[in-house]
Structure 1
Amino acid sequence: MSARQWSRDLGMGARFAVTGGREAWVRVLLTAVGVGLGVALLLLTTALPSALASRHDRERGRSDMTYSSTVKKKSDRTLLVATSDTTFHDEDVRGRVLQPEGPRAPLPPGVSAFPAVGDMVVSPALDRLLKSPEAKLLRERLVYRVSGTIADSGLVGPHELAYYAGADDLNATETTTGRLERIDAFGSTGQSEAMDPVLLLLMLIVFVVLLMPVGVFIAAAVRFGGERRDRRLAALRLVGADGRMARRIAAGEALAGALVGLVLGAGFFLIGRQLAGMIMLFRVSVFPGDLNPTPALVALVALAVPAAAVAVTLFALRGVVIEPLGVVRTARPSRRRLWWRLLLPLGGLAMLYPMIGQGRTNGDFNEYLVVGGVILLLVGITALLPWVVEAVVARLNSGGVAWQLAVRRLQLSSGTAARMVNGIAVAVAGAIALQMLFAGVDGDYTKVNKNDLTRAQMSMNVPDKVPTDKAVRELSGTRGVTHTTALGRTSLGDGRDEPERQSTVTVGDCAALREAARLPSCEDGDVFAVPDSKWDTATAALSKAGTRLYLDPSYGSSVKGEEIPWTVPKDIKRAGSREDPSGDERGGFLFTTGALPGKAASTVSATVYLQLDESVPDVRELVRNSAARVDPLADAATWSATTQSGKFTSIRTGLFVGAACVLVLIGASLLVSQLEQLRERKKLLSALVAFGTRRRTLSMSVLWQTAIPIALGLLLASIVGLTLGAVLLRMTDTAVSVDWASVLSMTGIGAGVVLLVTLLSLPPLIRLMRPDGLRTE
């Protein structure tokens, strides 16, 4: 068959699609909307890597952390940058205080001029928040005057809360690196840390699981209007077309709908891209300009979708006999064969099997085997589901009128019902497998904090220039703070410079020291030695009475000559070790406030631990405001039971964002498919109503026609999802365990989407159930 003949037949089918009157245009529009929704999500997905890369580039471009233990020398091109991050109602606020030291000091990205002392430039999102009534406590904390906004080039996303403030009292020293830096340029040039193989596997699976339902829906959309199209093909056979030509003309009709769908998909994508700048999902937002799919991926989508429309149509008509007097599809179809349908999931398992037990210690997983194996397993659902639906509905007979109408319809067209459910089944199976994998490896990326949340819920590191008692007074007077414990820390050794033996010193009043050790008795002026901590090997020798020691000894580049001599007193007491509220075992020496030499007070870095009355509204915000009054750069940290890896959290967040988009697509495409099915049955429904069938009975039959395939689809999806999840866990060398709550929630979400779509389709169903629907021309 020549290419000319193919193009002529495809073109004829396309002309039939667009010149066939109202019915043809409705059919093309339904196909185009279904394809367009899928294309839009494909384009958004292909644009996601560029958006994340743009966020990462802007984050690196504004980096101001040197991670150096030494401070850069002052010059006319240096800038002092102090970190003043805070949190407001669980939202992070990125803050920096700037002090240029010369006319050539570098400007942060997105800022046209340094803010004056007492002023700040803010992100548009923070500007809106500060102007809102609910930001009263945040306005009390950020006492600067807003003098401008940060441009997009200085923000990772349109909803980021960030500010740069001006100051003239910053002073960089070796002890302030990490919190206050002297830099001569913004930006990080360091190499990114290599990705963990398991995290790479997670990313691959996330992309496959999110894209597979899209492909399934596009394949289903190009088959809309199948029954009416087949009747037209019979008419073509009557005027002389052979069977192959009729199939090519049908493929041309699908091609027309797919091409219109590409145009609609591009429009949906542009609309979605603009909306992306207004929406924040799971604390992630992107600028519309960042969502730019690469030209190669756009070309791939533009070629793959029409080609898939032609291929799917030809494949669907392979077993249909189109004759001049009718289409042999209305007769009882031959039973579907099972053996070749099982080859797909078995082939997927065979591709994944070589990586069983690989874990993260044997290099990266073979991405081609991973992608191919997961695709075959998920595609296996679309092959198995029609057989399962046919096998089950063939055995369903007795029941009410609505049940019998639904079962008979499913027995005649089980393939159509299965196609509607395929996308949801694939999405649910992939989600179950991913949830199992995430739950299985969660412990590897989640650190259980040692913090004792029964003894403190927040803490604040007291800045060096702030007296500890001032910080304690301010925090203790905060509404909602029930108790404060202040513990200072410094070091002690047996030499002024590079001591051979060294130990730690904890400073506090008697009540505070009892939070760090078990004391026999305590009065102000006492000194204790704690020689029995697990890590301490020097305190027993250093704590002998009369031994001359030095507080804050010098190390390497530290300032020398400021060490404070101290002699171990004869009445030094012994105490037992105990973990402090943060879970650290202090050990070493304990000094009550009165026993610490006066000169040593400046060497002590203190931490205040706070117990809160959780019933007080916004108690944490009140504590953060008090911390800001102590020092604008101070921030009180909120304690939590666990801390999770940032990369792991980012991948999980990406999954949630993508899953939300896929769910929207599932609902919209399923609704379009449902409306198309109702349109196909318009005359049948009208005839049943004309013969006296109750509308409630017909509505229930439509509900059963949807509920039976979705129940079978979700059952099959659960089996395949659990199998895939178990294999993925074995690949990561993790014990197989089933998170039944996630399985039930995923299946429940899938069922909920179908129920919602069914409810939305009831109004058009009621309109179709009228006797005048029998009117024809």
Structure 2
Amino acid sequence: MGMRFAFAGGREGWVRALLTAVGVGLGVALLLLTTAIPSALSERNERGSARDDFTYSGKVLPKADDTLIIAHTDTFFRSKDVRGRLLEPEGAQAPLPPGVEKFPAKGEMVISPALDRLLKSDSGQLLRERLPYRITGTIQQAGLIGPGELAYYAGASGLEDQLSGGTVERIDYFGPSPGNTGDELDPVLLLLILIVFTVLLLPVAVFIAAAVRFGGERRDRRLAALRLVGADGRMARRIAGGEALAGALLGLVFGTGFFLVGRQAAALLEVRDISVFPSDLNPSPALAVLVAVAVPAAAVLVTLFALRGVVIEPLGVVRTAKPPRRRLWWRLLLPLGGLALLYPMVGQGNSNGDFNQWMVIGGTVLLLVGITALLPWIVEAVVARLNAGSVSWQLAVRRLQLSSGSAARMVNGIAVAVAGAIALQMLFSGVEGDYTKATANDLSRAQMEVSVRGDASLDEVNRQLQQTKGVRRASAVSLGSAADQAQDPENSVEVAVGSCAQLREVARLTSCRDGDVFQILGGEYDSDTTKVTKPGGTLYFDPAYTGSTSHTVAWKVPSGIKTAARRADPTGYERGGLLFTSAALPEAARAGMSQQVFLQLDLSEPDASEYARNTAARLAPLANVYTMASSTRSLQFQSIRTGLFVGATCVLLLIGASLLVSQLEQLRERKKLLSSLVAFGTRRRTLSLSVLWQTAIPIALGLVLASVVGLTLGAVLLKMVDTAVSVDWASVLTMTGIGAAVVLAVTVLSLPPLLRLMRPDGLRTE
């Protein structure tokens, strides 16, 4: 009978069922999306592993009919990663990369759809100059980790000469290396993941619980009418449960529809360079069934719980009388229980063992759910003491005094989300230093480093990079090695070649002229210099090692080699070994050297780094270009933070949509009241301000409570990982400001329907 009332009870019934279904559906869609995330990540990882092309074995395979030489040519374009590979098949059975139908010929490339769109756009012109290949095909989904990935495979020749270069390897299959097992997460990172999932999912559950109580007052009046025709109290509650069940089941249908629409739109969205194919977002069947069972069951239980203190009599509902004051003691038990569960794990972490996952989840949930229990009591206690003020203020306060529970329910979700965000921000800030390491880079001397191997001479490399748009200064040196034996030497030293000015970037020279040779003693990895630089001895440039090819050149060590003092280069490295001015190096020894260039950029040119990368690619397709940074961050830590950002974005959208639906439902219930006030001459401006106050007062109280709980949870989490408690007040204010901005936006969006409701003809009835 309750389910029939939901759909056949006239306009009131189906409008309430529709609002409930939309609210529940938004939550269900986000739950389904969350249950699909493990599947999406697994699919991405599998495709990424299937195209792995480095064996990490340190061995060079012999050339065969089933081998392929592959070179890494990854690059960046305006902060986006571009995955690039050069391919040179050595036989008819050479392995094809996943997602590629045939090998591109030299001068051709196959590219991802996203890269194709970028290269054809005006913004991709600079990148097009860097990839001078003819497009002949598209990489299919099997070869990409996401629809937004920028990737290409280009044909090449002559890569065999570069096999000892570090970024070139001969392979006979694509797939994970047996020795590359990946990194395991440490206890602190596991704790971060647990807290992220708990904090992101709990507001969803709170919103679903609030959605099933839409239209509660009108429903209770209908139940009173049922009592008048003979239903007893238990029957009335079962009918209310059936009505809530109908809305929840319709919400499951809506949620499935929202999820399917969102899944198709996933290919068009990219957040922090993360994108997924729609086919990857497949919820686990077990988790999907759990959502399908838990949501309707929770709807019925929440409804019955809400009716526990309501006396439904044939002539009305006793709720219209002054409700009894809410009790505080049992509401404090929830956060105190959460703290009790978290306290035993204080001091654990990377050095003291893993955290108990169930205690972490349980303690966090109890603390955050404590907000939903405490907020109604706080709102009731505060608004009971608010009286004098403008007409709009008095209208808002009186409404809150009559129905503080409804106002608190609307704010509960955002308060939980803000509290969780504050705690997470404190935890991330506290442990960030453990996963962020300062580099030795001197950014005042250089902002980029370019390494070029090949036939380009030192002077040519330096000249072209110096003349590149956006480059203020280029300083190049040639790098190589020399040893006391031509084959498998025991002692070897570093060799650097350049002009006197260029050598002064990597060493301290008292006097220098072209033709001089210097030795540096005591470098970071230098213990052999004095052994191989004895006058009259023979040094061999570019010595050969087993399994590698080299162009060894002999050189007789002269007497009178000068000594230079160590100096850190712009990367912070203090080299040792030998320094040669350009005239002192044997001409034949230049072939085995690479050119290292430090670039000072004109920071007023936004694309300076792109111009530098284009020049490096023209000089040598296998050139390595590095952007120097003051610090590096753990990839695992960065991935978790990116996941938090993506999840928080989805939850924020849900918060806004759910609050808007809740606000519209409350306005609908007050339609006749608003019409009555307008009919008596109340100004619309006054009513609009009263609606704003009705939203602002509970949200202000909710944000204050959220800040207190969030700071408490954050402090406990920091103690758990044995980190000093510190508060980033700017982040706390940012989190609360975002919460307030969402509510303000929802209030503004609800003004048009409010103005439509404020008409005297709203008093008409049938």
Note whether the superposition's TM-score is higher than 0.5.
yes
Distance 1:561 1:472, change over 3 A: closer
**Unpaired segments of 5 or more residues in structure 1?**
1-11
Q: List aligned pairs for 1:351-430, cutoff 5 A.
A: 351-430=341-420
1: distance between equivalents of 2:683 and 2:548? 90
Q: Secondary structure at the match of 1:487?
A: strand
Q: 1:608 aligns with which of 597, 610, 617?
A: 597
1: distance between equivalents of 2:194 and 2:749? 35
Q: Secondary structure at the match of 1:187?
A: coil
Residue 559 (structure 1) shift: 5.7
Q: Secondary structure at the match of 2:453?
A: coil
Residue 659 (structure 1) shift: 0.6
Q: List aligned pairs for 1:691-706, cutoff 5 A.
A: 691-706=680-695
Residue 556 (structure 1) shift: 5.3
Q: Deviations over 1:26-66 (max 9, x none)?
A: 00000000000000010011101100111111000011112
Cross-structure match for 1:171: 160
Answer yes or no: is the 8 Å Cα contact 2:32–2:259 preserved in 1.
yes
Q: List aligned pairs for 1:40-439, cutoff 5 A.
A: 40-171=29-160, 174-176=163-165, 178-190=166-178, 191-439=181-429
Residue 233 (structure 1) shift: 0.9
Cross-structure match for 1:524: 514
2: distance between equivalents of 1:561 and 1:402? 88
Q: Which stretch shows the higher mean deviation, 649-658 or 162-171?
A: 162-171
Cross-structure match for 1:508: 498
Cross-structure match for 2:747: 758
1: distance between equivalents of 2:2 and 2:611? 70
**Unpaired segments of 5 or more residues in structure 2?**
none
When the two structures are superposed, what TM-score results if normalisation uses the length of structure 2? Answer: 0.97
Cross-structure match for 1:7: none
Residue 129 (structure 1) shift: 1.1
Question: How many residues of Structure 1 are paired with residues of Structure 2 in the alignment?
Answer: 764
Residue 566 (structure 1) shift: 3.1
Q: Deviations over 1:441-467 (max 9, x none)?
A: 111111222211111111111114433
Residue 173 (structure 1) shift: 5.3
Distance 1:716 1:184, change over 3 A: same
Residue 189 (structure 1) shift: 4.5
Residue 494 (structure 1) shift: 4.6
Structure 2 counterpart of 1:16, one-letter code: F
1: distance between equivalents of 2:479 and 2:571? 14
Q: Secondary structure at the match of 1:250?
A: helix
Q: Which stretch shows the higher mean deviation, 652-661 or 479-488?
A: 479-488
Q: 2:463 aligns with which of 470, 473, 479?
A: 473
1: distance between equivalents of 2:534 and 2:87? 49
1: distance between equivalents of 2:485 and 2:732? 62
1: distance between equivalents of 2:546 and 2:152? 36
2: distance between equivalents of 1:49 and 1:269? 16
Structure 1 counterpart of 2:154, one-letter code: A
1: distance between equivalents of 2:86 and 2:693? 64
Distance 1:280 1:561, change over 3 A: closer
Structure 1 counterpart of 2:339, one-letter code: L
Q: Deviations over 1:319-358 (max 9, x none)?
A: 1111111111111111111111111111111111111111
Structure 2 counterpart of 1:573, one-letter code: K
Distance 1:497 1:181, change over 3 A: closer
Q: Which stretch shows the higher mean deviation, 497-506 or 338-347?
A: 497-506
Q: Does 1:677 align with 2:666?
A: yes
Answer yes or no: is the 8 Å Cα contact 1:462–1:468 preserved in 2.
no
Answer yes or no: is the 8 Å Cα contact 1:432–1:725 preserved in 2.
yes
Residue 534 (structure 1) shift: 5.7
When the two structures are superposed, what TM-score results if normalisation uses the length of structure 1? Answer: 0.96
2: distance between equivalents of 1:415 and 1:363? 43
Distance 1:172 1:336, change over 3 A: farther
Cross-structure match for 1:749: 738
Distance 1:117 1:541, change over 3 A: closer
Q: Does 1:690 align with 2:679?
A: yes
2: distance between equivalents of 1:304 and 1:165? 51
Q: Deviations over 1:588-620 (max 9, x none)?
A: 322212222333323333211111222235222
Residue 117 (structure 1) shift: 1.8
Answer yes or no: is the 8 Å Cα contact 2:488–2:546 preserved in 1.
yes
1: distance between equivalents of 2:528 and 2:172? 42
Q: Which stretch shows the higher mean deviation, 733-742 or 212-221?
A: 733-742
Structure 1 counterpart of 2:298, one-letter code: A
Answer yes or no: is the 8 Å Cα contact 1:352–1:369 preserved in 2.
yes
1: distance between equivalents of 2:327 and 2:556? 90
Residue 363 (structure 1) shift: 3.1
Q: Which stretch shows the higher mean deviation, 534-543 or 718-727?
A: 534-543
Answer yes or no: is the 8 Å Cα contact 2:482–2:492 preserved in 1.
yes
2: distance between equivalents of 1:751 and 1:144? 51
Answer yes or no: is the 8 Å Cα contact 1:483–1:612 preserved in 2.
yes
Answer yes or no: is the 8 Å Cα contact 1:78–1:104 preserved in 2.
yes
Residue 638 (structure 1) shift: 1.9
Residue 554 (structure 1) shift: 5.0
Q: Does 1:593 align with 2:582?
A: yes
Structure 2 counterpart of 1:266, one-letter code: T
Answer yes or no: is the 8 Å Cα contact 1:70–1:174 preserved in 2.
no
Answer yes or no: is the 8 Å Cα contact 1:532–1:576 preserved in 2.
no
Q: Does 1:575 align with 2:559?
A: no
Residue 274 (structure 1) shift: 0.4
Residue 392 (structure 1) shift: 1.0
Q: Secondary structure at the match of 1:507?
A: strand
2: distance between equivalents of 1:555 and 1:375? 60
Identity %: 69
1: distance between equivalents of 2:564 and 2:684? 84
Once superposed, what is the RMSD of the aligned Cα atoms?
1.7
Q: Which stretch shows the higher mean deviation, 533-542 or 322-331?
A: 533-542
Structure 1 counterpart of 2:148, one-letter code: H
Residue 530 (structure 1) shift: 2.3
Cross-structure match for 1:5: none
